[in-house]
């Protein structure tokens, strides 16, 4: 990660694209936890990455890079809530450093999970991502014009493949929690 951050700070567009692809979805999911609005969160994360590129010369090249990107997206998400008056942000502002660290570690697990899901076969990955987005099996079946049993079998197959490829048992626990087979 340090090398990638250094390359981005030196203007390497390929390194920036790698950073974008690795962190976009985890940061989007993190933002949605606050905003409860996918469109707003997409704008927030895209704006963050634009600013990241504009300010690339000032990138922090140490362990705090993860804290930097997550706290930036968190702050932007809270600003969105404040500016739209959609939710009181009082409780979020008083979050302890320990809570923030726990959230950041959780998001890293999501990033690792997302990377593992990207390695699944195409149809299996597509079904798995729809399930993680909260879609019901029947709706997924209707959307993809397949049977509900096919959806269930692809979810089971994906779970088995992830079990074989994912090191962290915590990630497996998240999979089982999200995808009620």
pLDDT of residue 53: 93
Residue 115, φ and ψ in degrees, nearest 5: -65, -40
| DSSP track, 57-80 | GG---STTHHHHHHHHHHHHHHHH
Local confidence pLDDT in tens for the 181 residues of the chain:
788 888 998 999 999 999 998 889 889 888 988 888 989 999 999 999 999 999 888 876 555 788 888 889 999 999 999 888 765 555 555 555 566 666 666 666 676 777 788 888 999 989 988 887 778 999 999 999 999 999 999 999 988 888 766 655 455 555 555 555 4
Long-range contacts of 117-123 (CB under 8 A, 24+ apart): 117/158, 117/162, 119/165, 120/158, 120/161, 120/162, 121/161, 123/154
pLDDT of residue 181: 47
pLDDT of residue 147: 95
Structure-token pair, residue 18: 């790698």
Q: Does the pTM exceed 0.95?
A: no
For residues 14 and 52, give the distance between their C-alpha atoms in angstroms, rounded to a whole number.
Answer: 14
Contact yes or no for 181/159 (Cβ under 8 A) = yes
For residues 95 and 55, give the distance between their C-alpha atoms in angstroms, rounded to a whole number.
Answer: 27
pLDDT of residue 145: 94
pLDDT of residue 16: 94
pLDDT of residue 130: 87
For residues 142 and 66, give the distance between their C-alpha atoms in angstroms, rounded to a whole number.
Answer: 39
């Amino acid at each position: 990660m340090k090398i990638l951050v250094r390359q981005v700070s030196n203007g390497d567009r390929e390194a920036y694209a790698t950073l974008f692809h690795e962190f976009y979805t985890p940061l989007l999911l993190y933002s949605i936890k606050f905003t409860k609005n996918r469109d707003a969160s997409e704008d927030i994360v895209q704006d963050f990455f634009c600013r990241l590129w504009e300010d690339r010369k000032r990138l922090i090249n140490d362990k705090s890079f993860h804290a930097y990107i997550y706290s930036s997206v968190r702050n932007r998400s809270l600003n969105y809530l404040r500016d739209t008056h959609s939710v009181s942000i009082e409780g979020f502002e008083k979050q302890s450093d320990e809570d923030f660290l726990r959230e950041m570690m959780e998001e890293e697990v999501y990033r690792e999970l997302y990377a593992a899901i990207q390695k699944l076969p195409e149809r299996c990955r597509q079904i798995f991502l729809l399930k993680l987005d909260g879609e019901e099996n029947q709706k997924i079946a209707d959307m993809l014009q397949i049977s509900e049993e096919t959806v269930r079998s692809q979810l089971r197959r994906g779970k088995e493949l992830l079990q074989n490829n994912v090191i962290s048992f915590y990630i497996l626990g998240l999979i089982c929690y999200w995808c009620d087979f």
